[in-house]
């Protein structure tokens, strides 16, 4: 089974690379990408970066680009191409697949493989992984934080608490909207704990939530250190730490509606489930939504989940629902923000696909269902290829 998991993840990784890497320079840079490139250029050429609480989000994108540029002995900024800049976000996108084994015992091997494949072919994931913007970094650091939290829950080892703290610190230093993610995760954790103790109809033993204060303090200290290190430009600009708190005043005004990016609550679903302009193709990731809803049902009904943990699936379901609701209710919307909750739905879709296969008893029906799921994944991959390589959106 381990060999099957490794082959499945390898297949998903190759598929993800094939959809993300070709033609990275074909599309003209979006305005936000160009601004980020200029901000990095100032850091690359002058060794200076100061966090701006009014614009441009956090410093992780620029410092990640700087690290890769130095490791690869890149030339001066004038010779940095769209390909080299966009490869940064592609790498973080691939990390969403490569780090999936951290959740192997929580979601199950089959769910992990399907989650990896759907991550690889999701048109939204593919399209915005090829954007030199902060969002993919935020999604990646969020995923690592969730995975580290699960591993700590299972082992109670301080190393996982340190990784959790560092990941949350990197989320903080990536984009201001990380607080929405933290709020959704905290709410989901609390409700899931109540469910585990009072409402678990299956009667299965669930590990109680015991808090180790020493480990908690270590995680908080690491989180604050990482965030302060980056916001202060490695302590050369202490004001950046205060600015990282002051930033919420202008961003709250935008969230309240003081921006041209105001859209109705269904904006993200319109683009994900059924989007059609003029004589162009129909874009839909409806398969992921359907499988994701099945995955949510699995977490609460304990059906078809023999490999993973119902508690983790239930937490992921609550977290995804709360995060989706939050982003839908905030009037300020940019299309790439959907990646934050859609990644959770993709993981749940992997659980849903695995559960359907396990609940299908007849061999011929199981084969037919597998082929149907693969056909759906191919259709998603075809859309992703169109969006990334054949059309300028």
Per-residue pLDDT at 212: 87
pTM above the 0.95 mark?
no
Per the CB < 8 A criterion, the answer to whether 57 and 173 are in contact is no
Quick: pLDDT tens for 129-155. 999 999 999 999 999 999 999 999 999
Which position has the token pair 């908080």? Answer: 220
**In which residue are the tokens 């074909």 written?**
26
**How much is the pLDDT for 259?**
65
Give the Cα separation of 282 and 82 in Å (integer).
Answer: 28
Separation of CA 248 from chain center: 22
Using an 8 Å Cβ cutoff, are 213 and 343 in contact? no
Burial code of 346-356, b = ≥16 C-beta within 10 A, e = fewer?
A: bbbbbbbbbbb
**262 phi, psi to nearest 5 deg:** -95, 125
Instruction: Measure the CA dihedral 354/310/147/340, to 10°.
Output: 70
Q: How far apart are CA 324 and CA 257, in angstroms?
A: 19
The per-residue pLDDT for 290 is 97
Q: At what angle do helices 363-385 and 339-359 cross, to 10 degrees?
A: 160
* pLDDT of residue 261 exceeding 80: no
Over residues 325-368, the pLDDT tens digits come to 999 999 989 999 999 999 999 999 999 999 999 999 899 999 99
pLDDT digits 0-9 by tens, 203-225: 555 555 667 899 999 999 999 99
d(CA 391, CA 393): 6
pLDDT at 199 over 70: no
Backbone angles phi, psi at 13, to 5 degrees: -65, -45
Q: Which residue has the higher pLDDT, 22 or 257?
A: 22
How far apart are the C-alpha atoms of 326 and 96, rounded to whole Å? 23
Q: Greater confidence, 76 or 13?
A: 13
pLDDT of residue 209: 61
> Long-range contacts of range 75-82, CB-CB < 8 Å, 24 or more positions apart?
76/44, 76/45, 77/40, 77/41, 77/44, 77/45, 80/37, 80/41, 80/44, 81/25, 82/24, 82/25, 82/29, 82/132
């Amino acid at each position: 089974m381990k060999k099957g998991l490794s082959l499945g993840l390898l297949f998903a990784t190759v598929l993800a690379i094939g959809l993300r890497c070709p033609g990275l320079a074909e599309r003209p840079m979006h305005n936000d990408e160009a601004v980020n490139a200029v901000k990095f250029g100032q850091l690359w050429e002058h060794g200076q970066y100061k966090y701006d609480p009014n614009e441009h989000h956090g410093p992780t994108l620029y410092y990640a680009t700087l690290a890769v540029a130095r490791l690869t002995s890149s030339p001066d900024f004038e010779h940095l191409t769209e390909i080299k800049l966009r490869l940064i976000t592609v790498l973080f996108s691939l990390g969403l697949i490569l780090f999936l084994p951290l959740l192997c015992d929580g979601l199950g091997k089959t769910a992990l493989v399907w989650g990896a494949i759907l991550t690889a072919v999701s048109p939204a994931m593919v399209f915005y992984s090829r954007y030199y913007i902060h969002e993919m970094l935020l999604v990646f650091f969020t995923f690592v934080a969730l995975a580290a939290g699960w591993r700590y829950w299972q082992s109670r080892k301080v190393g996982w608490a340190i990784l959790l703290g560092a990941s949350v610190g990197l989320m903080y230093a990536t984009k201001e909207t990380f607080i929405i993610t933290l709020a959704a995760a905290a709410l989901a954790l609390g409700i899931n704990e109540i469910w585990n103790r009072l409402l678990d109809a299956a009667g299965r033993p669930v590990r109680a939530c015991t808090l180790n204060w020493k480990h908690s303090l270590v995680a908080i200290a690491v989180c604050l250190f990482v965030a302060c290190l980056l916001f202060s430009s490695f302590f050369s600009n202490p004001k950046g730490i205060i600015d990282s708190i002051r930033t919420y005043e202008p961003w709250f005004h935008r969230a309240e509606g003081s921006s041209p990016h105001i859209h109705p609550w269904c904006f993200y679903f319109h683009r994900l489930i059924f989007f059609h302009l003029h004589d162009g193709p129909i874009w839909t990731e409806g398969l992921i939504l359907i499988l994701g809803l099945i995955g949510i049902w699995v977490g609460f009904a304990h059906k078809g989940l023999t490999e993973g943990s119902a508690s983790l699936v239930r937490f992921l379901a609550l977290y995804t629902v709360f995060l989706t609701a939050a982003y839908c209710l905030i009037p300020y919307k940019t299309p790439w923000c959907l990646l934050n909750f859609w990644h959770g739905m993709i993981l749940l879709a992997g659980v849903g696909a695995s559960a359907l296969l396990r609940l299908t008893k007849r061999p011929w029906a199981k084969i037919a269902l597998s082929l149907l799921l693969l056909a759906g994944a191919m259709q998603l991959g075809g859309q992703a290829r169109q969006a990334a390589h054949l059309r300028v959106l």
